[in-house]
Structure 1
Amino acid sequence: MASTYDADQIQVLEGLEAVRKRPGMYIGSTGPKGLHHLVYEVVDNSIDEALAGFCTHIEVDINPDGSISVTDDGRGIPTGIHSKTGKSALETVMTVLHAGGKFGGDGSGYKVSGGLHGVGVSVVNALSKLVEVTVWRDKKVYVQRYERGKPQGQLAAEPNKQDPKRTGTSVHFVPDETIFTETTVFEYEILAKRLKELAYLNAGIKITFSDNRGEEVRQDIFCYEGGIKEYVEYMNREKDALHQDIIYVNKEKKGVTVEVALQWCIDAYSDNLLGFANNIRTIDGGTHLEGLKTVLTRTMNTFARKRNKIKENESNLGGENIREGLTGVVSVKVPDPEFEGQTKTKLGNTEVRGIVDSLVGEVLKDYLEFNLNVGDSIIEKALLSFKAAEAARHARELVQRKSVLESSPLPGKLSDCSSRDPEESEIFLVEGDSAGGSAKQGRDRRFQAILPLRGKIINIEKTDDSKIYKNNEIQSMITALGLGIKGDEFDPSQLRYHRIVIMTDADVDGAHIRTLILTFFFRYQRALVDQGYIYIACPPLYKLERGRNHQYCYSDRELQQRIDEFPANANYTIQRFKGLGEMMPQQLWDTTMNPETRAMKRVEIDDAAEADRIFTVLMGDRVAPRREFIETNAPKLNLDDLDI
């Protein structure tokens, strides 16, 4: 069939049409994550006003009708006529992509910015059914309304008789349900986590968050005068600190502001370093984290030699040894940030590495000189880490080799797939030989591998390196997956499977094993979780049969709903799957392993600090915090909704 391809086939999308046509390009998705991203973009504008020194209070409201209002006491978006567009600056900002005061240079309105460089608020406007902007400045109140990105009339202005000195901006918006077809309901907890994080990262800013949808208003006020120092205190509140005072850096060099807070803990065997660039969480790291790790390793080794903790003929301590038990936050504010990838998960500015190195080095060196006992304690902990690793050298030889596929024998109980392409390969970590047998028979051998694990693996949260590498089940996972050594930088090219699926029984023991495996991944190689390689399989709990028809149910509630759909006095049978080993291979394939029909949960971290704290509480040595957590949260559980 012939088709014409000429000038008439070229589409020109004007204004914000491109955003409405391809919203995922601008906010990631049109699901819940993209929906909440709208709020972050508006709040980022207010935070930028705070960074510029003009805003102290931000109010975020979920209104009774489910819409959002964000109000600040900044300077207010300019309202004068823009020379190039011939429209008010407010309308220009709201309706033109890449229009804003955040592009740097002497004429810029902001020194640094954490938003999407001018597309933020205009994208929110494009993807909202209704937006109403109110600006207080020049002793006047300015109001303009937009519907699906288009202004409804001119910018209206009237004297501000009530409070002539007031300045600021309020953005009220209703998401467009034709764009966000999955949901337009904002989750309080999701927004609260991000707003709390922003308050930690911007010391002294007050963020009032209110949910007005219920009979009673739910409200949180986030304000931390100590900034990221309080952030580290929060992350370590369930741990035993090696030193009470937090090592803190807050300096500027060549226009780059560097803020770092560090504290080592006695009862932790992993490091937890969070990186931020212009308030954006850089989960894939970047030059700011590289600079911090380099200066920590060099400075602590220099101190150790000066204190005669390391002899002349002995090698330096490795960075992973020095960072064991360290909790830290590094936050940089860069005038012209360069992020790798559109998702802004890795900072690429090469100059930041040296700036962080020099500024942190100065402060850390001075701190150690005046706190010799703290420095000695950190080095002693690092030496213990080094010795534990040396004691396990023989066990680690399997994972130290360059290529697991070429040089290292794979675990005997691993049933590998035939594919050698990690991107299309997946591995199921299953509980015991019985479930492993069903999984091996039911799988697609081309791209699905099976690794049975015997019993419950050790709890890595309270285990040192020597025990980790001597444990057979842990060693099998390290070798089969190609994980390398704990503390080394994550290398995706060595990963043998890009989907690692935890498949355990739907009972209490299965949930415990799943948690132990998640703890292993989170503490041993957290990048696996951060970068989305870890999944949880969702096997059914029941098989419901009536006549020749059958269906699988994944919870007690779903089972009851299906039964209620049957006619009165209908005959049916229920099969309860007590374990995966009870399922026939074909059943396991149809319900849990077939990519066409299965349901899987990808493990993601929305709040890194809270995730770290929860692992410490639930899996750590201290009993009292765990008991308090259980007593506080157990009454909130609805047992009918649980799958176990």
Structure 2
Amino acid sequence: MPKQEYGADSLTVLEGLDAVRKRPGMYIGTTDSQGLMHCLWEIIDNAVDEALAGACDHITVTLHDDGSVEVADNGRGIPVDVEPKTKLTGVEVVLTKLHAGAKFGNASYNAAGGLHGVGSSVVNALSSRLDVEVDRDGKTHHMAFHQGHPGVYSDTDPEHPSPDAPFKRTRKNRPTELEIIGKVSPKTTGTRIRYWADPEIFNDTAEFSYEQLIDRVRQTSFLVPGLRITVIDENVPETGDDSVDEMMEVDAAQTPADDGTGLMDAADIVSAADTAVEDTVEAGEAEARPAAVSAAVETAKVDAARHTHARVEEFRHTGGVKDFVDFLSAGEAVSDIWRITGEDTYEEETQAVGEGGELHAQKVTRKCGVDIAMRWTNGYDTTMRSFVNVVETPGGGMHVDGFLMGLTKQIRKAVEDNARKLKVNLKDSNMRVERDDILAGLVAVVTVRIAEPQFQGQTKDVLGTAPVKPIVTRMTDKQFGEMITGSKRGYKEQSGRVLEKIVGEMHARIQARKTKEVTRRKNALESAAMPSKLSDCQPGNDDVAELFIVEGDSALGTAKAARNSGFQALLPIRGKILNVQKASLSQMLNNKECAAIIQVVGAGSGAGFDIEQSRYHKVIMMTDADVDGAHIRILLLTLFYRYMRPLIEHGYVYAAVPPLHRIALAGSHKGEFIYTYSDDELAGRLADLERRHISYNPDIQRYKGLGEMDADQLADTTMDPRTRMLRRIRMEDAAQASEIFSLLMGDDVPPRKAFIVDNADDFDRSKIDT
């Protein structure tokens, strides 16, 4: 094989934005939907930076029906004068030059999200067309680009611009003047950027996610109090006036009756296959809204009038991260929302731009603003969101590390100071609070605002500015320390509940570790370690093993004779178990029935639950077909949902469906029986028998409990896989499921009463045992 020559002529130099088009992944991560959304975030972040600078209070994001996206703000507008060094207008510099913009200096932006200076120019490079309009100095300026290069489009219809229209590119190295297309009030300023993502760059599966956009806009409205953001989607089929009225997220302090979303959708939460139980909750908008909100709604309606097919959603909050935590919280609150705020300074060596454009090192003093809100709920999931200058950092970073360090230190200290009250043996090395114990049920939003943050990568997933960590740690140490020790007024009772929950999580983790040691039935010794009342099945059938949780000892006796001991295990419970929705974690662990169920399932509890370690693939609730039996099923479901949720998520939980009636046939069919499962079914079967002239014993047996059946009847109707009917419990939506469990099983009585009254006449009789 001949040796290839390698010289200077082998080198390729990509100028301007060509490098971005050649290697887009370096700038936006991927060229699928994720990269497409990242481009949108870059443009939105630039508008939000204007809001952070105090120059903008309204942003509008429009998803046009031609596939383009437009972001408009009423900020100061991109500069339109000529930049001395490049001899180009500010608009062209911002949109065509990498690492160019006002955010590299210290005058225009003290804290901003788009600090790498590549956001707008990268989006321009990866767009088949980009149009920008700037309102400034009493005029509206316009400029267009094709794949990052400036020029002029000859649109057939200026009202409907297209990337396919003829394009004349501006000659290289020739200054491009902005086109003035109109006049505005001298006080009117702002920027509008509309772009069409280039299909040559993004793959066929790339598409905009409306849900991601709404989530991002909502979180931004929390992080920049007072900023109004309107989202218009022209891609929704016309549905009438309702498409305009899906309106507002408003600060809870402004509208106490509102739930934060304005509307509460139907909740199809925990239901069973075939005859699933479905409860629907509908809540209307708040009866009264402030004048400012009403005005905003009317403004959005006017915007929507121009887009008859558009759906419009608008967001504005004034409570900041406190409102954000309230929005993210699910389940019953263990504490109020606690706040850590403050500002400190640090020194950092940075590269400054001199008058001649040269770089030189200098030490500067930076300000670091910290704003953290947190709350503990009675669940075990952790919801933590972190941000730097409103840019989310999913990977955390120095600010999160500092917060967790201070949090862990103060909680461990508080537990040690209250060891006797919390029943913690400090001499036991295993009884040490770990970070996972603290994070269980924690909802927190951690934000910092700093100038020129250092991120790990252009996608800004992790904050790397090291001096931020000790600042956040010190503030957390001081302010949270006063809260958790109860020395701050009004926090004593709350701190006690928080510490009790965290210690309960510690005990649960320790217990889970012990339980795992006896989870798999490998020998007789392990099986003997289970509760004495467990009638276990034979080892070796793990993949098909079933656990029947049986109500009462009388039913247990019949079930023992009816079961197939090869793969069916029985665990009796004595009546109604503890309502874990109202109880603390320690109370749940101390309850014999709850502890026995957790131990028998063998996969732990809470955050440490491991579905792979479950000893059974079916956990079947077998209770009487009456009101008490239904209540016991709900209590069991509450236990599974709060502490063994993966059982429900993986479809391991079932409800047995025992019959309510037995019809004994007579005449030529004597000795045959028909079982029915509801009053309506009974009436229908009796009518069918009479129509077919089949006689039956009029003394129809009504089962009041499982104990009234003999073993053969129980096996045929309820336990034998060949003839039984089971209802699989499924969970459609975790957040809505949490709300429903809190509503129906929690301490707050008035909402539960209102729910029962409102839905008393709206239920399906076929889904209850009657």
TM bin, normalised by shorter chain, reads 0.5 to 0.7
Counterparts of residues 105-504 of structure 1 (less than 5 Å): 105-106=105-106, 108-115=107-114, 117-152=116-151, 154-158=176-180, 161-183=183-205, 185-213=207-235, 214-215=237-238, 216-236=309-329, 238-243=330-335, 245-254=336-345, 255-265=367-377, 267-304=378-415, 309=421, 314=426, 317-367=433-483, 368=486, 369-371=488-490, 372-395=492-515, 433=543, 470=599, 474=603
TM-aligned CA distance change 1:143 to 1:360, over 3 Å: same
**SS at structure 2 position matched to 1:164:** coil
Partner of 2:463: helix, strand, or coil? Answer: coil
Equivalent-residue separation in structure 2 for 1:178 and 1:260 (angstroms): 43
5+ long unaligned stretches in structure 2? 152-169, 171-175, 239-308, 346-366, 524-540, 546-566, 570-579, 590-594, 610-616, 619-637, 647-731, 760-770
Change (3 A) 1:25 1:410: farther
Which moves more between the two structures, 465-474 or 165-174? 465-474
Q: CA deviation at 1:313?
A: 7.2
CA distance, structure 2, for counterparts of residue 174 and residue 312 of structure 1: 62
CA distance in 1, matches of 2:222, 2:733: 16
Deviation at 1:304, TM superposition (A): 4.7
Do 2:61 and 2:69's aligned partners in 1 also have CA atoms closer than 8 Å? Answer: yes
Deviations 1:465-484 (A, max 9, x none): 96698466637xx9xxxxxx
Q: 1:118 to 1:384 in 2, by over 3 A?
A: same
Give the deviation of 1:331 after TM superposition. Answer: 1.2
Q: 2:187, 2:544 → 1: CA distance?
A: 74
Report if the CA contact (8 A) 1:142-1:155 is conserved.
no
Contact in 2 for aligned 1:177/1:183 (Cα 8 Å): no
The 3 A distance-change label for structure 1 pair 235 and 333 is same
What SS is found at the alignment partner of 2:444? strand
Q: Percent same amino acid among aligned pairs?
A: 35
**What secondary structure sits across from 1:373 in the alignment?**
helix
Contact 1:100 / 1:117 at 8 angstroms: preserved in 2?
no
State the Cα deviation string for residues 80-118 of structure 1 (Å, max 9, x = none): 211221111210111111111223x53x53222222611
Distance (Å, rounded) in 1 between the aligned partners of 2:70 and 2:512: 56
**CA deviations over 1:423-447 (Å, ceiling 9, x no partner):** xxxxxxxx97489xxxxxxxxxxxx
AA of the residue aligned to 2:446? V
Q: How does 1:477-626 map to 2 (within 5 A)?
A: 613=735, 616-617=738-739
Aligned residue number for residue 291 of structure 2: none
**Would you say the 8 A contact 2:422–2:503 is kept in 1?**
no
* 1:600 counterpart residue number: none
Q: Could you say if the C-alpha distance between residues 473 and 11 of structure 1 is closer, same or farther in structure 2, counting changes exceeding 3 Å?
A: farther
The secondary structure found in structure 1 opposite 2:93 is helix
**SS in structure 2 of the partner of residue 252 of structure 1:** strand
Instruction: Give the Cα–Cα distance (whole angstroms) in 2 for the partners of residues 13 and 268 of structure 1.
Output: 54
- In 2 relative to 1, CA 14–25 (structure 1 residues): closer, same or farther, beyond 3 Å? same
Shifted more, 84-93 versus 342-351: the winner is 342-351
CA distance in 1, matches of 2:517, 2:401: 27
Give, in whole Å, the separation in 1 of the partners of 2:95 and 2:392: 26
Deviates more, 1:140-149 or 1:183-192: 183-192
Please state whether the residue corresponding to 1:389 is helix, strand or coil.
Answer: helix
> Contact 1:73 / 1:167 at 8 angstroms: preserved in 2?
yes
Instruction: Report Cα offsets for 1:383-418 as digits up to 9, x if no partner.
Output: 2223333444533679xxxxxxxxxx99989xxxxx
Native 8 Å contact 1:433 1:454 kept in 2: no
Please give the secondary structure, in 1, of the residue aligned with 2:102: coil
Provide the residue aligned with 1:569 in structure 2.
none
Matched, 1:26 2:118: no
- Counterpart of 1:61 in structure 2 is 62
Shift of the 26–412 alpha-carbon distance from structure 1 to 2, 3 Å rule, reads farther
Instruction: Give the Cα–Cα distance (whole angstroms) in 2 for the partners of residues 36 and 271 of structure 1.
Output: 26
| Distance across 2 between alignment mates of 1:618 and 1:432 | 33
**What does the per-residue CA deviation read over 1:102-142, in whole Å, with 9 as the maximum and x for residues that have no partner?**
23x53x53222222611110011011111111111222222
Could you give the per-residue CA deviations for residues 171-205 of structure 1, whole angstroms, max 9, x where no partner exists? 01111122223156433222212111221222221
Matched-pair contact (CA < 8 Å) for 1:127–1:148: yes
TM-score (norm 2): 0.53
SS at match of 2:144: strand
Deviation at 1:68, TM superposition (A): 0.9
* Mapped partners of 1:205, 1:486: distance in 2: 37
Q: Which residue identity lines up with residue 186 of structure 2 in the other structure?
A: P
Extract unaligned runs of 5+ from structure 1.
399-408, 414-430, 436-452, 456-460, 479-484, 489-503, 506-515, 525-609, 633-644
Aligned residue in 1 for 2:101: 100
Deviation at 1:623, TM superposition (A): 7.0
Structure 1 residue 57 displacement after superposition: 0.8
> In the superposition, relative to structure 1, how do residues 262 and 454 fare at CA in structure 2: closer, same or farther (>3 Å)?
farther
